[in-house]
Amino acid sequence: MKNFIWIIIILLIAGCTGPKYYVKQAQKYEKQKNYEQAVVNYNEALLQDPNHKDARKGLKKSGQRLMNELIKSFDDAYNSGNYLKAIEKYQEIDRLKKNVERRKIDLEIPDDLNTAYKTCIENQCREYYHSALRTIDNRDYELTSDFIRKIEKIDPTYEHLGQLRTAVKADPYYTSAIDAYNRGEFARSYQSFQQVEKIDPGYRETAKYMEELGKKYAISVALFPLENQTQNLQLSDQLYQSLESELFKQRSRIMQVSDKETIAEALRKANIPVYLPLSEKDALNVSKSLGTNRYILCTLNQTTNEKMPRQEEIKTAYLKERVLYFDQWSGTQMSNYQYREIKYKEVSEEIKFSITMRYRIFDSTTGTLTYSNQINKAVINQIKFAEYTGVTEDLYPTTGYISQTDLRKWRSRFDAANDRKSDQELLNILIRELTKQWIDEVNGAIFK
């Protein structure tokens, strides 16, 4: 008897969710003119019974009505020039068409719909393409990449995609080259155009600029050993190596740079000591022998090392200690923790290094000074840390609650002395910054 009751229940449940149920649901949606949901329910009915006549008949009827709605939406979007929306509607049409075709049901679709869809793709890609070109002109390359991705999404075979992909790589170098050209930094401009040429030799007016630079602005340069007016011989050598190395990186078709070995050999042939101050007359003669257009003389005028007085301030912290005591009630020895006030030091240290270098650029034909400047660079290393002779892991800033994050942050002050930079590290920073400013100036001044 119990088994019979369960069979009846199962049949009732099956009846509630069987093909007839979904057909009734679909018919209800049809009356509401919700053809999308009607198609969903007819599909579910056919999934359970592929030969259900009412479901097949209903799917064809509701499917066609839904198709007509989608086609109208496509036409409206197409005629109003909203090609992106039209593309979306066409994709819905295509999904509906494939869906009912699986049930071997055909829906009526205008013959020219596919042609109109291709026109939408073409027009929308063209719109994205021109928008991408505007972003390139505005140097907004991230937005350019966004438009490239949008084109790829709707038509990965679009004819101008390759052009845009190349432009987004080449244009940053191209605009840098143009900017350098306008500033008179012709060597740097030529180098940037070379980068463009590697990516796309025919990009914009790259070839024209490179030809012009090669014909009008080709120049050769000699950088003579640094004159040192300080007592720091090691710094002088290090600075010269940095300047020479950076100048050597600027070599190109329009800037030839004599290397230090060539210059040293020319000085020896002229019986001029390499490590003694070089007169302007000797520099001119050696430069002429090398056949250079410009020569550069640099002088390390001054270096300073200033240490400010160490600042100390006594502060209070709390040491957490374990204490033992005798519990008279239990007669046993017990333990607990207590905080004891201690003193530690908050320390501030500051050191300042500075360099002063003068450089002069001369015309090798006449010995005329064409440009000179003095560069002053300074770096300050200021550190603040705490000093305590005991175990810092037992120290607390308060006897109240403090989170582990805040506690770790507070205790980190006791390790902050390790942030102190060595003298050589500070000098390295100075040399790097001085060299950077020097090469930026020289790139323009050398062509004056």
What is the 3-class SS of 186-239, one letter each residue? HHHHHHHHHHHHHHCCCCCCHHHHHHHHHHHCCEEEEECCCEECCCCHHHHHHH
- Whether the per-residue pLDDT at 98 is higher than 80: the answer is yes
- Residue 201 in domain: yes
- Whether the per-residue pLDDT at 207 is higher than 90: the answer is yes
Distance of CA 291 to the CA centre of its chain: 43
Q: What is the C-alpha separation between 227 and 280, in angstroms, rounded?
A: 12
Instruction: Name residues whose C-beta falls within 8 Å of residue 297's C-beta, 6 or more positions apart in sequence.
Output: 224, 227, 278, 280, 283, 359, 360, 362
Q: Are residues 280 and 396 in the same domain?
A: yes
Domain carrying residue 152: 125-216
Q: Are residues 322 and 426 in the same domain?
A: yes
- Residue 8 in domain: no
- Residue 255 in domain: yes
Q: Are residues 257 and 336 in the same domain?
A: yes
36 vs 14, higher pLDDT: 36
- Whether the per-residue pLDDT at 9 is higher than 50: the answer is no
Residue 350 CB-density burial (10 A; 0-12 exposed, 13-18 middle, 19+ buried): middle
Q: Which residue has the tokens 């914009």?
A: 204
- Whether the per-residue pLDDT at 333 is higher than 80: the answer is no
- Residue 139 in domain: yes
Token digits of residue 5: 């009751």
Q: Are residues 150 and 55 in the same domain?
A: no
Q: What is the C-alpha separation between 29 and 39, in angstroms, rounded?
A: 9
- Residue 3 in domain: no
The pLDDT of residue 6 is 41
- Whether the per-residue pLDDT at 104 is higher than 80: the answer is yes
Q: Are residues 268 and 396 in the same domain?
A: yes
Residue 25's domain is classified under what CATH number? 1.25.40
User: Which pTM value belongs to this model?
Assistant: 0.69
Q: Are residues 224 and 240 in the same domain?
A: yes
The pLDDT of residue 10 is 38
Report strand pairing: 219-223 vs 294-307. Answer: parallel
Q: What value does the mean pLDDT take over residues 344-359?
A: 94
Q: Are residues 203 and 340 in the same domain?
A: no
- Tell me the per-residue pLDDT of 218-236, one tens digit each, with 9 for 90 and over: 999 999 999 999 988 888 8
Indicate the SS3 state at residue 301: strand
Q: Are residues 234 and 328 in the same domain?
A: yes
Q: Are residues 46 and 180 in the same domain?
A: no
**DSSP one-letter string for 406-421:** HHHHHHGGGTGGGGPP
Q: What value does the mean pLDDT take over residues 240-256?
A: 92
- Residue 206 in domain: yes
Q: Are residues 381 and 285 in the same domain?
A: yes
- Whether the per-residue pLDDT at 248 is higher than 70: the answer is yes
- Whether the per-residue pLDDT at 3 is higher than 60: the answer is no
- Tell me the per-residue pLDDT of 16-33, one tens digit each, with 9 for 90 and over: 568 999 999 999 999 999
The pLDDT of residue 18 is 86
* Listed residues 168, 194, 216: the one ending a domain: 216
* Listed residues 216, 231, 255: the one ending a domain: 216
Count: domains in the chain: 3
Q: Are residues 131 and 174 in the same domain?
A: yes
The pLDDT of residue 16 is 54
Q: How confident is the model at residue 335 (pLDDT cuts 50, 70, 90)?
A: low
Residue 334's domain is classified under what CATH number? 3.40.50.10610
Token digits of residue 217: 């602005």
* Listed residues 79, 110, 141: the one ending a domain: 110
- Residue 12 in domain: no
The pLDDT of residue 432 is 95
Q: Are residues 260 and 323 in the same domain?
A: yes
The pLDDT of residue 322 is 79
- Tell me the per-residue pLDDT of 412-445, one tens digit each, with 9 for 90 and over: 999 998 888 888 899 999 999 999 999 999 988 9
- Residue 158 in domain: yes
